[in-house]
Structure 1
Amino acid sequence: MLSIIIVNYKNEQQTIAYVKSELSKVTLEHIVVVVNNSATEISNEILAKELNAKIVCKNELKNTDEKIFIIPHLDNLGFAKGNNLGAEFSLRYFDVDFFIFSNNDIRFLDDNVVEKMIMKIKKLPHVGILGPKVVGLDGKKQSPEPYYSFVHRYFLRYWVYPFFPNKIKRKLLKIEYTQLAVEGEYYKVMGSFFLVRALDFVKVGMMDSNTFLYAEEAILTERMKAINKSVYYLPTVAVLHEHGATISKNASSKAMKKFQFESESYYYHKYRGVPKWLISVGEKSLSLYSYLKSKK
């Protein structure tokens, strides 16, 4: 069985539209689990009524005949904890073989997207994560993504690369990496819509709950690498991603940059061995760059 997990945060109508218009196209046996972050009684009722779903209180379920479930949580757990909660619920009550972790701002651009993804990963036992072609509203591909070192990410791109000619700068920044990608193994895929085997996901300890909103894909890549599993990009099926629709409505740019640096610095330190002193310098570098940019 397949479990499709969505983390909802103050955007019930978009979640409802996604489940009704897109996930209704999935023909394989599946359940849909909506983790409702910062849940209110009203938001729970709206989701349950519109989706004909079962609200699961205290993560307890007596009747497993339903196919769509709402798991409320009073706090905003973020991406990793929210998805882990949905996965734990799925594994507790259902015989789950695969998980798809999905944003609610996804649209299928091809027929049988999910079915083709599962068919492919079944043929690739060494693959732990599989992602489709993800296209933004601007028509550009958002997946797969390269690895950037901490020095590249927080020093070179701000203070060195801008002074290079455009042709060299584009190469150093790997601007064409995603746009030119063909089917195969890559460092990571976009976290807005991807597939994993349930056994692999459990074996690596699920997602790292120390992050809130960023770096989850890279961390899951590193965890899969620890069990000799790779990341695979499948461009023969595509989805549209309205990137950041929920985020932009509910958080300031400054807050998002803070979340991003905290999660990425945690990833670089724990999973890539970057020392804390360098991360501290990187934080000051980013603050200075933001300050100078605001004065222009």
Structure 2
Amino acid sequence: MFGYVILHYQSIEITKKCVDKLLMFSKTNPIVIVDNCSPNGSGKQLEKMYSKCTNITVIINEENQGFAKGNNLGYQYIKRKYSLSYVVVMNNDIMIENNDFDVIIEQFMEKNGVDVCGPDMVTLKGNHQNPLQLKPYTSKYLQRRVREDKIKVLLLRTRLFWKLYENYKKTHK
């Protein structure tokens, strides 16, 4: 089963269109809308609008934590509450057009043996907004990258790194 996390900020019309598209495909898949502290009160409006929908939850973030933390808040909630095969994390301006979106994703994931994938985002003018990864990343590759990134973060927290960096900056203007 698929679940959806939608990051919302201010534009209630766009978020409503996104949710309406998802509801066209399935009335039962869980949808979590994370309002990232919209100053116009649109999060509360969404909460009221979807209060009778048992599969839609609106989380109102008390502060705008940015893209990643806002999405993580919704992702953590949906993973705790539901037993899902897939979670789609998306901005409110993403419109899924294919009725068989879930089938396409499931087949792709199984065929390529991947755990995480991202879209090839194309503008209305046909421009690709992100480079298309032709060969999917494997779980092993992603685990190695996570380990490497953790090491980098640890290095950034050391005084020695910053001392070396300062010396480098002085000699390499």
The answer, yes or no, to whether TM exceeds 0.5 is: yes
Gaps of 5+ in 2: none
> Does residue 1:185 correspond to 2:136, yes or no?
yes
Post-superposition shift, 1:109?
4.3
Is the alpha carbon distance of 1:97 and 1:227 closer, same or farther for their aligned partners in structure 2, counting shifts above 3 Å?
farther
Kept in 1, the 8 Å contact 2:36–2:70? The answer is: yes
Percent of aligned pairs with the same amino acid: 25
Is the alpha carbon distance of 1:141 and 1:41 closer, same or farther for their aligned partners in structure 2, counting shifts above 3 Å?
closer
Kindly provide the CA deviation profile for residues 15-55 of structure 1, in whole angstroms up to 9, marking residues without a partner as x. Answer: 112111x21233495211011111469423321243x246x
Post-superposition shift, 1:227?
6.0
> Does residue 1:270 correspond to 2:155, yes or no?
no
Is the alpha carbon distance of 1:95 and 1:185 closer, same or farther for their aligned partners in structure 2, counting shifts above 3 Å?
closer
Kept in 1, the 8 Å contact 2:34–2:71? The answer is: yes
Kindly provide the CA deviation profile for residues 42-101 of structure 1, in whole angstroms up to 9, marking residues without a partner as x. Answer: 423321243x246xxxxxxxxxx8111100111001111111111221122211221111
Counterpart position of 2:8? 8
Kindly provide the CA deviation profile for residues 123-163 of structure 1, in whole angstroms up to 9, marking residues without a partner as x. Answer: 333x12223332013311223x3xxxxxxxxxxxxxxxxxx
Counterpart position of 1:43? 42
Counterpart position of 1:96? 84
Kept in 1, the 8 Å contact 2:4–2:32? The answer is: yes
Counterpart position of 2:56? 68
Kept in 2, the 8 Å contact 1:5–1:33? The answer is: yes
> Does residue 1:86 correspond to 2:3, yes or no?
no
Gaps of 5+ in 1: 55-64, 146-177, 188-199, 201-222, 230-266, 286-296
Kept in 2, the 8 Å contact 1:39–1:74? The answer is: no
Counterpart position of 1:238? none
DSSP-derived class of the 1:44 partner:
helix
Equivalenced residue count is 160
The separation in 1 between residues aligned to 2:127 and 2:137, in whole angstroms, is 18
Which of 133, 157, 167 is the aligned partner of 2:120? 133
The separation in 1 between residues aligned to 2:32 and 2:141, in whole angstroms, is 23
Q: CA RMSD, aligned part only?
A: 3.7
Post-superposition shift, 1:13?
2.0
Counterpart position of 1:204? none
Kindly provide the CA deviation profile for residues 151-188 of structure 1, in whole angstroms up to 9, marking residues without a partner as x. Answer: xxxxxxxxxxxxxxxxxxxxxxxxxxx5xx7x53269x
TM-score w.r.t. length of structure 2: 0.72
